Amino acid sequence: MTAVQSETPRAEADSGYNFAYLDEQTKRMIRRAILKAVAIPGYQVPFASREMPMPYGWGTGGVQVTAAVIGSDDVLKVIDQGSDDTTNAVSIRSFFVRTTGVETTEKTRDATLIQTRHRVPETPLSEDQILVYQVPIPEPLRFLEPRETETRRMHALEDYGLMHVKLYEDIAHHGHIATTYAYPVKVAGRYVMDPSPTPKFDNPKMNHSPALQLFGAGREKRIYAIPPHTEVVSLDFEDHPFEVQQWDNACALCGATDSFLDEVIMDDAGKRMFVCSDSDYCEERRAAGHVGEEGVPL
Amino acid sequence: MKTVFSESPLLQAEGIEKRFGRVHACNDVSLDLYPGEVLGIVGESGSGKTTLLNILSGRIEPEAGVVEYAVREGGMRDVHQMGAAERRMLMRTDWAFVHQNPRDGLRMNVSAGGNVGERLMAVGARHYGQIRDTAVDWLQKVEMEAGRIDDLPRTFSGGMQQRLQIARNLVTRPRLAFMDEPTGGLDVSVQARLLDLLRGLVGDLGLAAIVVTHDLAVARHLSHRLAVMRRGEVVETGLTDQVLDDPQHPYTQLLVSSILKA
Amino acid sequence: MEMLKLSGVAKTFQLHTQGGVSLPVMSGVNLTVSQGECLALTGASGVGKSTLMRMIYGNFKCAEGAILVRHGDEWLDLASAHPHAVLDARRRTIGYVSQFLRVLPRVATLDIVSEPARAQGVPDDAARAHAKDLLTRLRIPEALWSLSPITFSGGEQQRVNLARGFAARYPILLLDEPTASLDAENRQTVIEMIIEAREAGSALVGIFHDLEARKQITTHDLDLTVYAAA
């Protein structure tokens, strides 16, 4: 096969691998799936997911999507739970450094391509950015209707009553919609989509985002997308409207009150602190002089 | 029960054919059903009743023949030529399907209220409070305690599950119900209660129904007209009490004479 | 005015389960009943009196001949009518008091008795009020009205059945042994009720083994023996 390499690995990359690990035909196949996904916002496009040199559950879907869209002049950021320095983020970042040699960053602003697990960065995204989500279970109807044949038919016929049954059950049992992550959304007024296990806090950021949002599920072999400037509505009831999580605390390090906070246990006595889950956002604020209750000025 | 019927049928089937291998499940079956009318289909197991019900309700395709339904917008539509979306819309608004086994018709991992509310939500109800009020109303209509609205169906008795299935189906006030042995598998005492309930609901809602049953007592109490099936053929039709009290066809006579009188 | 006309009515039972034996019951039955008349069907047991009554009600099939009832402004042939027309005739035109009460369990006596009037469009409270009058007149204790008659005694069931038959005003009323299993007092009440209905213009057909009652109620007799099939 005369695989024409569209990109040349930069000098920093290991030789012996094709650019971004996958062969060019595979990348084309994935790009075709991505194009289809962009054309039908929220629709799950099957694709021939490849074996990757990492186990399922480590973001093989997101990695394949990233590999298919990354170019040698991209600046890559990888986050896991909002943080750039967790195991998953570090290993995926180093995977792409080794196979492409692209420049990486921890700054949301500087990145052209961001692969994420479980969070949307707090810093608003722009038109020249792509956000790639790692998705474990792409089918939002799965937990109510286990038959894939039936859920596909339900999507085809826009038969989404069941999705509200799930929210109804939440309110009936908890008094409010207790779903806090993987909170179902309707994309462009048509397909109901699982926004991957991101907290519902991030759902509003997906709505009319100027960035292209791509979702890859490796084990389940599905790709779906939210094109830029697309309406993304979180499902709810008139008398139980969608609401994002709120905290009584501000970030202990940077004092932010508008970010998603992680609760961190400090000692065996139950001391805890709340800090921004988005490490870059927290850094940026501290660099700008914001200080939380337990923070120290940089 | 309602006894005045309009001139034009709600459902009309003509020349229905269906084979499973060598078994002729439906052999040139034709029948009609009028708004507000209950048609009983009786016959022993394997006579093709359930197959016919599935064909009439668009769940399986006949090999030949036409099933037409008078849609709300007016006019007769071929049930099997409709798009899947339109048929599904009928299934969750204008039609009801009551299965013999409530487990086939209920979501067992969803509360009673969620089960009743599903059709409402499917057609766009988005007010939790109103959905819940309607669910309570329907639970009471089927003689269930409103206090059990958040309980899972598995905590209910068979009779309660069947009543819940009926509530879940009738909540959108359909015009046509397909019922497959609705009292099958229930204790006799529970059967009577369910029959009485069904009869009342059919009368109050002006619901038309096709009830498949092998229980002639159920057929007598629920249906206006009867069709007797044997080996895929309708061998006798007529007014329910006439068919049961003065059966003409040898098979109907056998069926009626085989029943133990209580 | 003529209300009911039978011409050339015949009935044969084909007993397919018993070797296909053919049991001819009657043939060539002609009769006419007008408003204000009460016709008694007579003849020995087995001559087909109940069978004929049930044919007139559409409960037994009439294979031969015509059974015309004045249904509204027109004659309806029950022998060939569509089941829907038969049901409509039963709702508006023909009532039938059988010997046995056949009802669903759990339905209250008052609901059973008032049902025919409601089916004719009488408002619920008026239908109930009339049903209460009838039950009172037939000496069914008020304590029983809210109960299902399934557990009542034979005489009580028969009176509930009668009350139901008289609850709606049928232009044609069929009575199968209306005074059987009644005590003297109730028997007299029922006789009075039947006479009132007749005098109010209903056309009645009945089977009365109670000769005294028959004498008081009926205007003419028809001995079915002459139509008995050979």
Tens-place pLDDT, residues C44-70: 998 999 999 999 999 999 989 999 999
Neighbours of C61 (CB within 10 A): 17
> Does the distance separating the beta carbons of B245 and C60 come in below 8 Å?
yes
The reply to whether B110 touches chain A by the CB within 8 Å rule is: yes
pLDDT at B120 over 90: yes
Catalytic residue among A216, A282, A289, A292: A282
* Residue B249 in tokens: 């066809």
The 3-state DSSP class for residue B190 equals: helix
Catalytic residue among A59, A61, A82, A276: A276
Handedness of CA A58, A59, A61, A63 (dihedral sign): negative
pLDDT at C144 over 60: yes
Q: Does residue B120 contact residue B134 with C-beta atoms inside 8 Å?
A: yes
Q: Which residue, among C71, C66, C122, C118, has the nearest Cα to C93 in the 3D structure?
A: C71
Helices A87-100 + A60-69 axis angle, to 10: 30
**Has A189 been annotated as catalytic?**
no
- Give residue B259's pLDDT band: very low, low, confident or very high (50, 70, 90): confident
- Cβ-based neighbours of C54, under 8 Å, separated by 6 or more: B245, B246, C60
Q: How far apart are CA A281 and CA A287, in angstroms?
A: 10
Radius of gyration of chain A (CA): 20
Catalytic residue among A42, A59, A61, A218: A42
User: Which phi and psi angles does B95 have, rounded to 5°?
Assistant: -115, 155
Q: Which residue, among B95, B103, B82, B145, has the nearest Cα to B122 in the 3D structure?
A: B95
Q: How far apart are CA C216 and CA C189, in angstroms?
A: 12
Q: How far apart are CA C169 and CA C93, in angstroms?
A: 8
CA distances from A161 to A155, A157, B120 (A): 11, 11, 8
The 3-state DSSP class for residue C23 equals: strand
The reply to whether B246 touches chain C by the CB within 8 Å rule is: yes
- Burial zone of A3 (CB within 10 Å; 0-12 exposed, 13-18 middle, 19+ buried): exposed
- Burial zone of B203 (CB within 10 Å; 0-12 exposed, 13-18 middle, 19+ buried): middle
Which strands make up the sheet holding B208-213, listed edge to edge? Answer: B95-98, B176-180, B208-213, B38-42, B225-230, B233-239
Q: Does residue B118 contact residue B168 with C-beta atoms inside 8 Å?
A: yes
Provide the number of CB pairs (under 8 Å) joining chain A to chain B.
62
Neighbours of C20 (CB within 10 A): 9
Q: Does residue B211 contact residue B194 with C-beta atoms inside 8 Å?
A: no
Chain B residue nearest residue A162, CA to CA? B118
Q: Which residues of chain A have pLDDT under 70?
A: 1-12
Give the pLDDT score at A1. 39
> Does the distance separating the beta carbons of C107 and B246 come in below 8 Å?
no
The reply to whether A190 touches chain B by the CB within 8 Å rule is: no
Chain B residue nearest residue A161, CA to CA? B122
The 3-state DSSP class for residue B255 equals: helix
Length, in residues, of chain A:
298
**Has A282 been annotated as catalytic?**
yes
Which run of H or of E encompasses A222?
strand A222-226
pLDDT at B238 over 70: yes
Q: Within chain A, what is the greatest distance between any pair of CA atoms?
A: 64
Range A8-17, long-range pairs (CB < 8 A, 24+ positions) = A8/A72, A9/A72, A9/A99, A9/A100, A9/A101, A10/A72, A10/A100, A10/A101, A10/A102, A11/A101, A12/A97, A12/A101, A13/A97, A13/A98, A13/A99, A13/A100, A13/A101, A14/A98, A14/A99, A17/A98, A17/A99
- Domain with residues B11-94+175-261, CATH architecture: 3-Layer(aba) Sandwich (3.40)
Q: Which residue, among A208, A226, A218, A56, has the nearest Cα to A138 in the 3D structure?
A: A218
> Does the distance separating the beta carbons of B254 and C83 come in below 8 Å?
no
> Does the distance separating the beta carbons of B150 and A173 come in below 8 Å?
yes
- Cβ-based neighbours of C193, under 8 Å, separated by 6 or more: C137, C162, C166
The reply to whether C82 touches chain B by the CB within 8 Å rule is: no
pLDDT digits (tens, 9 = 90+) for B162-189: 999 999 999 999 999 999 999 887 887 7
- Burial zone of B63 (CB within 10 Å; 0-12 exposed, 13-18 middle, 19+ buried): exposed
Q: How far apart are CA A193 and CA A202, in angstroms?
A: 14
Q: Which of A224-238, B194-208, C39-53, C146-160 has the lowest mean pLDDT?
A: B194-208
Give the pLDDT score at B199. 84
> Does the distance separating the beta carbons of B246 and C60 come in below 8 Å?
yes
**Has A82 been annotated as catalytic?**
no
The reply to whether B112 touches chain A by the CB within 8 Å rule is: no
> Does the distance separating the beta carbons of B257 and C84 come in below 8 Å?
no
Give the pLDDT score at A298. 72
Q: Which residue, among C215, C230, C226, has the nearest Cα to C52 in the 3D structure?
A: C226
Tokens 């189906």 locate to: B169
Q: How far apart are CA B211 and CA B31, in angstroms?
A: 13
Give the pLDDT score at B260. 65
- Percentage of chain C beyond pLDDT 90 is 84
Give the pLDDT score at B261. 60
* Residue C57 in tokens: 């009600």
Nearest to C60 among B5, B193, B242 (CB): B242
Helices A161-174 + B112-122 axis angle, to 10: 140
Contact residues on chain C for B215, CB-CB shorter than 8 A = none
Q: Which residue type, as a one-letter code, is found at position A252?
A: A
Q: How far is A163 from chain B (nearest CA, A)?
A: 9
Neighbours of C102 (CB within 10 A): 10
pLDDT digits (tens, 9 = 90+) for C161-215: 999 999 999 999 999 999 988 999 999 999 999 999 999 999 999 999 989 999 9
Helices and strands per DSSP (H, E), number in chain C:
7, 9
pLDDT digits (tens, 9 = 90+) for A67-90: 999 999 999 999 999 999 999 999
Q: Which residue type, as a one-letter code, is found at position B160?
A: M
Interface of B with A in 127-156 (CB under 8 A): 127-129, 131-132, 149-150
Strand partners, C202: none
Q: Does residue C9 contact residue C32 with C-beta atoms inside 8 Å?
A: no
Interface of B with C in 158-197 (CB under 8 A): 192-193, 195-196
**Mean pLDDT taken over chain C:** 93
Q: Which residue type, as a one-letter code, is found at position A110?
A: D
Q: Does residue B74 contact residue B155 with C-beta atoms inside 8 Å?
A: no
How many alpha carbons lie under 13 Å from residue C31 in its C-beta half-sphere?
25
DSSP summary character for residue C150: G
* Residue C209 in tokens: 């083994």
Q: Does residue C119 contact residue C91 with C-beta atoms inside 8 Å?
A: yes
Contact residues on chain C for B5, CB-CB shorter than 8 A = 84, 87-88
The reply to whether B204 touches chain C by the CB within 8 Å rule is: no
Q: Which residue, among B174, B222, B225, has the nearest Cα to B39 in the 3D structure?
A: B225
* Residue A231 in tokens: 């309406």
- Burial zone of B230 (CB within 10 Å; 0-12 exposed, 13-18 middle, 19+ buried): buried
Range A125-129, long-range pairs (CB < 8 A, 24+ positions) = A125/A205, A125/A209, A125/A210, A125/A211, A126/A210, A126/A211, A127/A210, A127/A211, A127/A228, A129/A210, A129/A211, A129/A212
Give the pLDDT score at C105. 76
Greater model confidence, A28 or C151: A28
Q: How far apart are CA C81 and CA C53, in angstroms?
A: 17
Contact residues on chain B for A192, CB-CB shorter than 8 A = none
Chain B residue nearest residue C17, CA to CA? B254
- Burial zone of A121 (CB within 10 Å; 0-12 exposed, 13-18 middle, 19+ buried): buried
Q: Which residue type, as a one-letter code, is found at position C208?
A: F
